[in-house]
Amino acid sequence: MSHVAYVNGRYLPQKQASVHIEDRGYQFADAVYEVTCIWNGLPVDHAAHMRRLRRSLSELRIAMPCSEAALTAITREVVRRNRVTRGTVYLQVGRGVAVRNHSFPAKPVKPSLVIVAKHGAGPTESVAQAGVKVLAQPDIRWGRVDIKSIGLLPNALAKQAAVEAKAFEALFVTPSGTVTEASASNAWIVTKDKALVTHPLSTEILGGVTRDTVLRLAKAAGYEIQERPFSLAEALAAKEMFLTGTTTFVMPVVRVNERPIANGSPGSVSLDLRQRYIAYVNALDERAWAVDAPR
């Protein structure tokens, strides 16, 4: 079956899909994106992804390419045409096509829109039950990682270093020793008192949609939450550590570099939150496509 992409008004086989060579996303990374998990044919936290997309576009002064209702309809059609039941849908909006110049086009151009979908929604359950290794890497990203820009070269370099070290993810650490997040997920620790700690929202991290959902689920379950910075040293001494992300859900971390976290096995809190999150996505229904869902 040929994969189908949506590119600027047309549904095309991916092999035939292309963008203009002077698209500013291609030349300047002047674009933002969202990746939404498709679970049992339904989007996970679609409304939250739309809110974050609006915010990212606003921060870069890029117009929405169309209404949210139209964007949702196009996304549903891409999912349908690719027959994705469990996978992801990738949406990218850029400033558009203009003669190459660092400054914005003098006259506004039509934003570009690309949407693709693929099968497969992250690692298997056996990976989560075993836990994963992460590799600490220096955080060399730009100062506005709260914007979900496509400028991801530092993330890609860090993730490649992790792959070469046979690690699941790269953990970003600032020069002062603070853990910000991972290359494609948010980082958490569990203290010896079973409090959940994750970096607060700021320009230093991307406000993860899954992070927000796990926060709500954890609060509802009665866990203590501390949104504050934590150091790599604190992480190494923690009772547990885990990641949250669109396709990783809640992923226990059992090793940082070559150092085990606690006894080197997934902790009860991480596994409990993972099961709560899986129950949450399994309970989705057609209302998941609404763009006005409550926070």
- We report the CATH number of the domain holding residue 206 as 3.20.10.10
Is residue 290 assigned to a domain?
no
pLDDT tens for 71-110 read 999 999 999 999 999 999 999 999 999 999 999 999 989 9
- Residue 97 carries which DSSP code? B
Q: What CATH number did the domain enclosing 24 receive?
A: 3.30.470.10
Exposed/middle/buried for residue 235 (C-beta within 10 Å: 0-12, 13-18, 19+): buried
* 89 in any annotated domain: yes
Distance (Å, rounded) from C-alpha 152 to C-alpha 162?
Answer: 15
Residues 172 and 249 in one domain: yes
Which of 201, 197, 210, 194 lies closest to 251 in space, CA to CA?
210
64 & 202 share domain: no
Number of H helices, E strands in the chain: 8, 16
Tell whether 106 and 134 lie within a shared domain.
Answer: no
How many structural domains compose the chain? 2
Residue 149 shares a structural domain with residue 273: yes
- Residue 66, pLDDT score: 97
Percent of the chain with pLDDT over 70: 98
Q: Look at residues 120, 143, 171 and tell me which one is the last residue of a structural domain.
A: 120
Q: Which of 58, 90, 120 is the last residue of a domain?
A: 120
Whether residue 136 is found in the same domain as residue 265: yes
| pLDDT above 90: percentage of residues in the chain | 97
Q: Which tokens belong to 245?
A: 């992300």
In-domain check, residue 293: no
Nearest to 92 by CA among 137, 29, 167: 29
Q: Do 105 and 151 sit in the same domain of this protein?
A: no
Q: 248 and 271 share a domain?
A: yes
Same domain, 193 and 145: yes
pLDDT tens-place string over residues 47-77: 999 999 999 999 999 999 999 999 999 999 9
- Output the CA angle 217-221-222, nearest 5 degrees: 120
Please list the active-site residues: 148
- The model carries a pTM of 0.96
Q: Are 228 and 200 in contact (CB under 8 A)?
A: yes
Q: 139 and 67, same structural domain?
A: no
pLDDT at 293: 67
Q: What is the mean pLDDT of residues 254-265?
A: 97
- Per the structure, the complete domain to which residue 21 belongs is given by 4-120
User: Tell me: the pLDDT tens digits for 146-197?
Assistant: 999 999 999 999 999 999 999 999 999 999 999 999 999 999 999 999 999 9
Domain-ending residue, one of 87, 120, 153: 120
Asked if residue 294 belongs to a domain, the reply is: no
Residue ranges of the alpha helices (H) in 42-93? 46-60, 68-81
Distances (CA, A) of 83 to 40, 74, 94, 120: 11, 14, 26, 12
Strand-pairing partners, residue 252, are: 242
Distance (Å) of CA 293 to CA 65, 178, 260: 21, 34, 40
| Separation of alpha carbons 230 and 240, rounded Å | 13
42 lies in the same domain as 132 = no
The answer to whether residues 60 and 81 belong to one domain is yes
Q: Do 176 and 272 share a domain, yes or no?
A: yes
Q: pLDDT-based confidence at 250, cuts 50/70/90?
A: very high
For residues 18-44, one letter each, b for 16 or more C-beta atoms within 10 angstroms of the residue's C-beta and e for the rest, the string is: ebeeebbbbbeebbbbbbbbbbebbbb
